[in-house]
A and B are shown apart, each in its own frame.
Chain A
């Protein structure tokens, strides 16, 4: 990996050190101290370079010098992810923007985030470290890909499409197929028969297979195979399923994870251990990837809090609240303390039993209501 430097290597030295720690899941007093220092640096960075964030900090009477412990970092002024949908706020010159990525939102406005070379690169490096740790970095092994996402059309800005291109770097691409085929005019159509054919051909070919993208479409493909009473397939045991992007299609009908994983094992022969989901969004792209026991451990580059939905108080383990993610990795925009629209509960790492020491969180669904229980119109309905 090419070593990256943050935009100001002196002022952001702790940031650089933290974000390149070699063991993503090792938590100790030293990394905690480093984290706090990095957060002080990044807060000062954004206050100095983003007028909006400076105003916000002033309004809320916040100064980075106050941060002494990880717990203090909960009180770095959080910005709700939706804010970035409505406003462009930058801490760098427009010239330094390397990517402008949008999320594949299904309702309302799309998320967006601006990235500079450092932010994008350091995030990708985190992923690489995690892949390496789990033994998923196989540069010598040609691999077949079936990507449950949009077939690339030139100029696509959709974040998940970009991510999938990136993930394909960890094992060289022998063949690649897409589940959402381009059908002309920038539109895409889910192609179940194509997916089935790809899987069957990959099974015959015997190379390891990587299935990436939206779980809903993989589920639909397997259900189609079942409906057609096809033979179950046995893909190479070194195959890997790696999800991201959430359950698109129809959030009401999300199938429980255990059920889907069992289906994958039955129909494709990929062992449960090699089926992994991940959580990420353009507003918070520090990778949260499932451990061996399918739990989302927070890498050492970030800290996650659960915030009470009424009072915004930081909550203890096992209590439901907004996902509040704090990480100093992002220099391009003040998204270093982001309130996501997801509800979570967190637990200390030891509770998992997989050996990782960083805490993990459980996703409990989107926060907020699309519709009211009464006849009064809700915001989400109005937006349509």
Chain B
């Protein structure tokens, strides 16, 4: 007995199927509990697509299978090309995004901040598919759409079909075994109603492709509680406005659509309506069109010719039209070799064509569109519309109101785009349910159930990749099409670099950061925020927090870090601002300069800072003297890897939760192994959201260690920041020790020992001291001038913004700080207060 069924990745035959069916209900009930891993599906699809594009053994096997059911080489190639395109991760993800609006659609997410309401998409559960014979590829793609909506799928192929669908899906689940419980492909005859009825009884939904009879047959077997999703036969047409009826380019385009693939698509035009009620005009148009069609038709390759019955249908329809010509104004215009024909009928109504380049031409004034077409609205699909711009709105509105679901351009009527709605719906939405959760106040601060779930593991391709350093990061290729936003990238040993983001990545990161800020205690309903971060010179901080606060729909006053602190204080008071966001030293200076005023005002309750540590002394002062309740990090992250962590109210000091959009590893300082227990190591981050750049295991340059579980209830792991690693340091901008060394060598002729000391300067500013050996003849002023002259970023921060102090000192070598065991000179010594909350 032949093995014609695919059961959870296994080939089985009819007898085994009969054995297993009685237990299927129990199996499905169990498997329904397990969520489907979308990223795993994307990976499997992408791998399969890549393999198909390579035209290797798998491609040949599948092509052979298609050949066995009689497909021509051209058809085989087309089927496999379409399938490969569909399977690409990008395409699959895009479908999910279009239909569900969220890359993690099944994770409940807050829809408002004033109330604790969450919503999510959920799979229907078990989705049946009944696919037609002879339309290759549709079955496999239908099942994969079912997977994208998170369902377990039971697909019935036709007895006439080969094993193409089974082979494709087996290849898919082989590449991602976790998908196996979600895939069943059974080759059953439509006559096996008992078996089919038993299968559909287990389904929460059944998708059926085919004509009215097929749909009716499935409907009869489907329990009333199950959702029937019918993809039935449709009819499409062209509509030509009066003004467009003589345009040769339009006529050529329409002619193309009539001939293309022999009119076999549901979107092919079967009828052409001309905006007229004058038979003479109709006939004149038909003559013009016939002349164009005569030219165009021979240029379009002929597909499979009509069979006996299809030809009989064509002849019958043509003859009847010709006979009508003796009764009324109908007329047949046919090619001499009978390769195309126009059936001109000056009567209202919609006519189906026997296809193979047969087109009805009928009159239809715009005002009559509704009355004529609405009775058939269940079957209408595409209208190709040829009209001038000024009439576009009116005519398309009339067509859509009559039931058309797609309006296309002549010449491109058969087509569409991936991710488009089909027959009036997004298919994925029909394969899913929308659910709501009304939750208790204990979810305050929580935006997504991702925070409450175990964190996702490192994806396999990342786990296999080497650790990426800054140089590797800068060398990453960027997709030019995804290079939308350019922000200054923190420090390097060369020219100022720029980090590039796609809008999609930026949006995802801002959403994650907003979730983090909300977790940290910002109340979008009650807080009145002032955004005091920096803007200009491609800096991203003000802009990012603008986006974050916008995402939270919080009250926001976009001040930026202006020099005039009096203005700032005045606005704070005037608009009752209670929450400030900005850099620590700026905020500290603000409270210094405007201390009296702000003390009188006494309304600032929350401070969220970023970029640097917040000096503990200053923190204490603000809380004591100004009544500030919360002073917390707004987010932990970098321009390169995006936001990486957030603090909930239980996180003290430098402790952060890992954002659900990132995967964090902590690796030992000297080797690439995970740290043990309390060990301090390097923070290595892998963004989980698909990015414009493939960032994997990026060494952020920060040090940290794992912190324990949090009382807040979130399962996102916690880590504690323990300072910087490597030659980069923040003060507050990223500066590079290596750059200093280079400048000293190149421009000051100094190549002896040097190190950077970081201390607390005035008002919490960072102070960079460049320590040189006292053996050098150079003076500190000379060196200072040379360095500032050749280090533009440093100059900017020191001279223009006044955010950093810079000094040069000469010291005996004995005073230089070295690492304890190796005795190596430490490049950067950070002596700033041990409050690593930035």
Contact surface of A with B, Cβ cutoff 8 Å: 52-53, 55-56, 59, 78-80, 82-83, 86-87, 89, 309-312, 320, 322, 339, 341, 343, 367-369, 371-379, 381-382, 384
**Per-residue 0/1 for B388-400: is the Cβ within 8 Å of any A Cβ (1 yes, 0 no)?**
0000000000000
Contact surface of B with A, Cβ cutoff 8 Å: 132, 134-135, 209, 211-213, 231-236, 263-266, 268, 270, 308-317, 319-320, 323-327, 338, 350-355, 376, 379
Find out whether the CB atom of A376 lies under 8 angstroms from the CB atom of B264. Answer: yes
Name the residue on A nearest B268 (C-beta). Answer: A376
Given the known interface contacts A87-B327, A382-B379, the answer about A371 and B211 at a Cβ–Cβ threshold of 8 Å is yes
Name the residue on A nearest B353 (C-beta). Answer: A379
Residue of A56, A82, A320 near B316 (CB, 8 A) is: A82
Residue of A52, A78, A381 near B352 (CB, 8 A) is: A381
Find out whether the CB atom of A369 lies under 8 angstroms from the CB atom of B233. Answer: no
Find out whether the CB atom of B265 lies under 8 angstroms from the CB atom of A378. Answer: no
Name the residue on B nearest A373 (C-beta). Answer: B134
Between A and B, 18 residue pairs with Cβ closer than 8 Å are: A79-B323, A80-B320, A309-B315, A312-B315, A322-B312, A339-B316, A341-B316, A367-B309, A368-B313, A369-B312, A376-B236, A376-B263, A376-B270, A376-B355, A377-B270, A377-B379, A379-B317, A381-B379
CB-defined contacts of B353 to chain A, threshold 8 Å = 379
Alpha-carbon gap, A368 to B266, bound state (A): 19
Alpha-carbon gap, A381 to B379, bound state (A): 10
CB-defined contacts of B316 to chain A, threshold 8 Å = 80, 82, 339, 341, 367-368
CB-defined contacts of A320 to chain B, threshold 8 Å = 308
CB-defined contacts of B315 to chain A, threshold 8 Å = 309-310, 312, 322
CB-defined contacts of B325 to chain A, threshold 8 Å = 59
CB-defined contacts of B211 to chain A, threshold 8 Å = 371, 377-378, 381
Find out whether the CB atom of B233 lies under 8 angstroms from the CB atom of A377. Answer: yes
Name the residue on A nearest B310 (C-beta). Answer: A369
Find out whether the CB atom of A374 lies under 8 angstroms from the CB atom of B135. Answer: yes
CB-defined contacts of B132 to chain A, threshold 8 Å = 375
CB-defined contacts of B264 to chain A, threshold 8 Å = 372-374, 376
Residue of A82, A309, A382 near B320 (CB, 8 A) is: A82
CB-defined contacts of A367 to chain B, threshold 8 Å = 309, 312-313, 316
Alpha-carbon gap, A59 to B317, bound state (A): 18
Find out whether the CB atom of A374 lies under 8 angstroms from the CB atom of B351. Answer: no
Name the residue on B nearest A80 (C-beta). Answer: B319
CB-defined contacts of B319 to chain A, threshold 8 Å = 78, 80, 312, 339
Name the residue on B nearest A54 (C-beta). Answer: B326
Find out whether the CB atom of B309 lies under 8 angstroms from the CB atom of A376. Answer: no
Name the residue on A nearest B379 (C-beta). Answer: A377
Find out whether the CB atom of A80 lies under 8 angstroms from the CB atom of B233. Answer: no
A319: shortest Cβ distance to chain B, in Å?
11
Alpha-carbon gap, A56 to B325, bound state (A): 8
B360: shortest Cβ distance to chain A, in Å?
10
Known: A52-B327, A80-B323, A371-B213. 19 other contacts (CB 8 A): A52-B326, A55-B326, A59-B326, A79-B323, A80-B316, A311-B338, A322-B312, A322-B315, A369-B312, A369-B313, A372-B233, A375-B209, A376-B265, A377-B233, A377-B235, A378-B352, A379-B317, A381-B233, A381-B379
Name the residue on A nearest B323 (C-beta). Answer: A83
Given the known interface contacts A309-B312, A368-B312, the answer about A377 and B317 at a Cβ–Cβ threshold of 8 Å is no
Find out whether the CB atom of A381 lies under 8 angstroms from the CB atom of B212. Answer: yes
Ranked 6 nearest A-B pairs via Cβ: A367-B312, A377-B235, A368-B313, A379-B352, A375-B266, A374-B264
Alpha-carbon gap, A86 to B324, bound state (A): 10
Find out whether the CB atom of A379 lies under 8 angstroms from the CB atom of B354. Answer: yes
Alpha-carbon gap, A367 to B264, bound state (A): 19
Name the residue on B nearest A376 (C-beta). Answer: B266
A36: shortest Cβ distance to chain B, in Å?
24
Alpha-carbon gap, A368 to B132, bound state (A): 20
CB-defined contacts of B236 to chain A, threshold 8 Å = 376
Alpha-carbon gap, A55 to B309, bound state (A): 30
B359: shortest Cβ distance to chain A, in Å?
13
Alpha-carbon gap, A130 to B232, bound state (A): 49
CB-defined contacts of A381 to chain B, threshold 8 Å = 211-212, 233, 352, 379
CB-defined contacts of B212 to chain A, threshold 8 Å = 381, 384
Alpha-carbon gap, A53 to B134, bound state (A): 43
Alpha-carbon gap, A374 to B338, bound state (A): 22
CB-defined contacts of A371 to chain B, threshold 8 Å = 211, 213, 233
Find out whether the CB atom of A309 lies under 8 angstroms from the CB atom of B327. Answer: no
CB-defined contacts of B233 to chain A, threshold 8 Å = 371-372, 375-378, 381
Q: Which of B232, B264, B308, B338 has most chain A Cβ within 10 Å?
A: B308
Alpha-carbon gap, A322 to B316, bound state (A): 10
Residue of B135, B263, B317, B352 near A382 (CB, 8 A) is: B352
B192: shortest Cβ distance to chain A, in Å?
16
Residue of B231, B234, B324, B351 near A379 (CB, 8 A) is: B351
Alpha-carbon gap, A381 to B263, bound state (A): 17
Residue of A82, A89, A339, A375 near B234 (CB, 8 A) is: A375
Alpha-carbon gap, A343 to B312, bound state (A): 9
Name the residue on B nearest A380 (C-beta). Answer: B352
Name the residue on A nearest B263 (C-beta). Answer: A376
Name the residue on B nearest A375 (C-beta). Answer: B266
Name the residue on A nearest B233 (C-beta). Answer: A377
Find out whether the CB atom of A368 lies under 8 angstroms from the CB atom of B309. Answer: yes
Alpha-carbon gap, A56 to B327, bound state (A): 9
Find out whether the CB atom of A374 lies under 8 angstroms from the CB atom of B323. Answer: no
Alpha-carbon gap, A368 to B308, bound state (A): 8
A310: shortest Cβ distance to chain B, in Å?
5
CB-defined contacts of A312 to chain B, threshold 8 Å = 315, 319
A13: shortest Cβ distance to chain B, in Å?
28
Given the known interface contacts A82-B316, A83-B320, the answer about A375 and B326 at a Cβ–Cβ threshold of 8 Å is no
Find out whether the CB atom of B326 lies under 8 angstroms from the CB atom of A56. Answer: yes
Q: Which of B135, B211, B236 has most chain A Cβ within 10 Å?
A: B211
Alpha-carbon gap, A378 to B270, bound state (A): 10
B546: shortest Cβ distance to chain A, in Å?
48
Alpha-carbon gap, A53 to B327, bound state (A): 9
Given the known interface contacts A80-B319, A83-B323, A311-B338, the answer about A377 and B313 at a Cβ–Cβ threshold of 8 Å is no
Alpha-carbon gap, A341 to B313, bound state (A): 9
Q: Which of B134, B235, B312 has most chain A Cβ within 10 Å?
A: B312
Residue of B235, B317, B376 near A376 (CB, 8 A) is: B235
B344: shortest Cβ distance to chain A, in Å?
15
